[in-house]
Chain A
Amino acid sequence: MTHRTRLLALLWMSALAGTAQARTLDADIAKIRLPMATLETVHVQLDWPDGATQGTLSLQAARVQAPDLGIDARHVAWTCPLQRIDSVGWACDGTLRSAGKTYRLAIAFDEAGLRGTFSDKRATLAMHRATATPDLTRIDLTRVPIAWAQGLLAQSWADARLQGGTLDGRVDVAAPSKGPLQITGRLNASGVKLETTDATIASDKLAGTFDFDYKIYDAPHPSLLSLDGTLRGGEFLAGSVYVALPDTPIKLAIRGASREGAWTLSRIEWADDGALHVAGNAAFDAETNLRTLDLSIHSDDLEPVRDRYLTGLLGIAGVSDLALTGGLDAQVRVDNGALHAFDFVPHHVDIVEPTDQRFAFHGLDGTLRFSRTWPIESALQWHDGLLYGLKFGGAKLPMRSEGGAVSLTQAVSVPLLGGALRFDNMTLRPPADGKGAEAIFGLSVDKLDISQLATALDWPVFRGQLTGHLPRAHYANERLDFEGGLSMAMFDGQVDVSSLSMERPFGVAPTLAADLRIDDLDLLSLTEVFDFGSITGRLDGSIDQLRLVDWSITAFDAELHTDPKPGIRQRISQRAVQSISSVGGNSLMTSIQGQLIGLFDDFGYKRLAIGCHLVNEVCDMRGLHSGGDTFTIVEGAGLPRLTVIGHNRLVDWPTFVERLSAVGSGEVSPVVE
Chain B
Amino acid sequence: MKSARWMGVSVASLWALSACVTINVYFPAAEAKEAAKEFVEKVIGPDAIPATPVETPEKKPEGGSGGMASLLQRIDPLSLIGIGSAYAQGQPDISIKSPAIQAIQARMASRFDASLRKGFDLGALGFGKDGMVVLREPGALELKDRAGIQTAVADDNRDRKALYKEVAVANGHPEWEAQIRDVFAKQWVDSARGGWWYQDKSGGWKQK
Q: Which residues of A contact B (CB under 8 A)?
A: 193, 195, 199-200, 202-204, 235-237, 240, 242, 311-312, 315-318, 320, 503-504, 507-509, 511, 547, 549-550, 552, 554-555, 557, 613, 615-618, 620, 622, 626, 649-650
Asked if A549 meets B166 with Cβ closer than 8 Å, knowing A202-B143, A204-B144, A509-B103, the reply is yes
Task: Let me know if B98 and A616 touch, CB within 8 A.
Answer: yes
A220 CB to closest chain B CB, in angstroms? Answer: 35
| 28 chain-A/chain-B pairs, Cβ below 8 angstroms | A200-B138, A202-B139, A204-B142, A235-B143, A236-B143, A242-B146, A242-B150, A311-B147, A312-B147, A316-B151, A317-B154, A318-B154, A504-B158, A504-B162, A507-B158, A507-B162, A508-B162, A509-B103, A511-B166, A547-B169, A549-B99, A613-B79, A613-B84, A616-B97, A617-B98, A620-B75, A649-B75, A650-B75
B208 contacts chain A at the CB level, 8 A cutoff: no
Contact A312 B99 (CB under 8 A): no
Smallest CB–CB gap between B66 and chain A, Å?
11
Q: Does B155 contact A (CB under 8 A)?
A: yes
A617 touches B166 (CB 8 A): no
Contact B71 A618 (CB under 8 A): yes
Judged by a CB distance under 8 angstroms, whether B38 is at the interface is no
Contact with A along B120-151 (1 / 0, CB 8 A): 00000000000000000111001110111011
Whether the Cβ atoms of B97 and A509 lie closer than 8 Å is no
Chain A residues within 8 Å of B97, by CB: 616-617
Residues in A neighbouring B89, C-beta threshold 8 A: none
**In the bound complex, CA of A550 to CA of B95 (Å):** 18
Residues of B within 8 A of A235 (CB): 143-144
Contacts A235-B143, A315-B150 hold; do A550 and B99 have CB atoms under 8 A apart? yes
Kindly list chain A residues whose C-beta atoms are within 8 Å of the C-beta of B147: 237, 242, 311-312, 315
B60 within 8 A of A: no
Q: Which residues of A contact B146 (CB under 8 A)?
A: 202, 237, 242
Report the bound CA distance from A244 to B133 in whole Å.
Answer: 26
B71 touches A650 (CB 8 A): yes
Specify which chain A residues have a CB less than 8 angstroms from the CB of B88 in the assembled complex: none
| B interface residues with partner A (beta carbon < 8 Å) | 71-72, 75, 79-80, 84, 86, 95, 97-100, 103-104, 137-139, 142-144, 146-148, 150-151, 154-155, 158-159, 161-162, 165-166, 169-172
Q: A320 to B158, alpha carbons, bound, how many Å?
A: 14
- Closest B residue to A554 by beta carbon equals B98
B137 near A199 with CB under 8 A, answer yes
Q: How far is the CA of A13 from the CA of B161 in the complex (A)?
A: 76
Point out the residues of chain B lying under 8 angstroms from A509, CB to CB. Answer: 100, 103-104, 159, 162, 166
Interface majority SS (helix, strand, loop, mixed), chain A: strand
Contact A318 B143 (CB under 8 A): no
The answer on a CB contact under 8 Å between B172 and A615 is yes
**Given known A549-B98, A616-B98, contact A320–B151 (CB-CB < 8 A):** yes
> A474: shortest Cβ distance to chain B, in Å?
18
B158 neighbours in A (Cβ, 8 Å) = 318, 504, 507-508
A549-B139 in contact (CB<8A): no
**B2 CB to nearest chain A CB (Å):** 20
Which residues of chain A are within 8 angstroms of B155 by Cβ–Cβ distance?
315, 318, 508
A residues in contact with B144, CB < 8 Å: 204, 235
Check B171–A508 contact: CB distance below 8 A. Answer: no
Given the complex, which residues of A lie within 8 Å of B165, measured CB to CB? 503
Chain A neighbourhood of B162, CB < 8 A: 504, 507-509
Q: How far is the CA of A195 from the CA of B142 in the complex (A)?
A: 11
Bound together, the chains give a CA A204 to CA B147 distance in angstroms of 13
- Complex CA distance for A240 and B149, rounded to whole angstroms: 11
Determine if B103 and A550 form an interchain contact, defined as CB atoms under 8 angstroms apart.
yes
**How far is A626 from B104 in the complex, measured between Cα atoms in Å?**
37
B151:A203 contact, CB within 8 angstroms:
no
Asked whether A552 lies within 8 Å of B150 as measured between CB atoms, the reply is no
A616 — which chain B residues lie within 8 A by C-beta? 71, 95, 97-98, 170-171
Bound complex: CA of A185 vs CA of B42, how far in Å? 58
Nearest CB of chain B from residue A653's CB, rounded to whole Å: 10
Closest to A204 in B: B143
Cβ B104 vs Cβ A555 within 8 A:
no
Q: Are A552 and B170 in contact (CB under 8 A)?
A: no
Other A-B pairs beyond A318-B154, A552-B100, A613-B79, 10, CB < 8 Å: A312-B150, A312-B151, A315-B154, A317-B154, A318-B158, A320-B151, A507-B162, A550-B103, A552-B99, A613-B84
Would A508 and B71 count as touching, CB distance under 8 A? no
Q: Is the CB of B148 within 8 A of A315?
A: yes
Would you give the shortest CB distance from A200 to chain B, in whole angstroms?
A: 8
Q: Across the interface, which residues of A come within 8 angstroms of B148, CB to CB?
A: 315
| B86, B98, B137, B158: residue with the most chain A Cβ atoms closer than 10 Å | B98
Contact in complex: A199, B138 (CB < 8 Å): yes
Which of B72, B142, B150 interacts with A316 by CB under 8 Å? B150
- B104, B143, B170: the one contacting A508 at CB < 8 Å is B104
> CA of A649 to CA of B155 in the docked complex: distance in angstroms?
40
Q: Name the residue on B nearest A616 (C-beta).
A: B95
CA distance A508 to B172 in the complex (A): 20
Across-interface contacts of B161 in A (CB, < 8 A): 508
B98 surroundings in chain A (CB, below 8 A): 549, 554, 616-617
Task: Specify the chain B residue showing the minimal Cβ separation from A625.
Answer: B80
- Which of B104, B147, B162, B166: most chain A Cβ within 10 A? B147
Complex partner residue of B170 from A199, A311, A555, CB under 8 angstroms: A555
Supposing A312-B150, A509-B166, A550-B99 touch, asked if A626 and B75 sit within 8 A by C-beta, the answer is no
Tell me the bound Cα distance from A315 to B171 in angstroms. 31
Determine whether the beta carbon of A508 is less than 8 Å from that of B159: yes
Tell me the complex Cα distance, A618–B88, Å. Answer: 18
By Cβ-Cβ distance, the 10 closest A-B pairs, closest first, are: A315-B151, A549-B100, A242-B147, A199-B139, A199-B138, A204-B143, A508-B162, A316-B154, A616-B95, A508-B158
- Kindly state the separation between the CA atoms of A193 and B144 in the bound complex, as whole angstroms: 12
Rounded to whole angstroms, the CA-CA distance of A363 and B155 in the bound complex is: 29
Among A237, A242, A554, which residue has its beta carbon within 8 angstroms of that of B100? A554
Interchain nearest-CB distance for A658 vs B (Å): 13
User: Contact check: which of B139, B154, B169 meets A195 at CB < 8 Å?
Assistant: B139
Give every chain B residue within 8 A of A199 (Cβ-Cβ): 137-139
Quote the shortest CB–CB distance from B12 to chain A (angstroms): 17
Distance in angstroms from A395 CB to nearest chain B CB is 29
**B170 contacts A240, CB within 8 Å?**
no
Complex formed: what's the CA distance from A202 to B150 in Å? 14
Residues of chain B within 8 A of A549, CB atoms compared:
98-100, 166, 170
A240 touches B84 (CB 8 A): no
- What are the residues of chain B within 8 A of A237 when measuring CB–CB? 143, 146-147
Q: Which residue of A is nearest B165, CB measured? A: A503
A391 to B151, CA, bound (A): 29
**Chain B residues within 8 Å of A203, by CB:** 143
Distance A237 CA – B141 CA, assembled complex (angstroms): 12
Q: Smallest distance from the beta carbon of A518 to chain B beta carbons, Å? A: 17
Cβ of B159: which chain A residues have Cβ within 8 Å of it?
508-509
A613 to B72, CA, bound (A): 14
What is the minimal beta-carbon distance from A163 to any residue of chain B, in angstroms? 10
Residues of chain B with a CB closer than 8 A to A547's CB? 169
Whether the pair A550, B143 counts as a contact (CB closer than 8 A) is: no
Distance, CA A625 to CA B142, complexed state (A)? 67
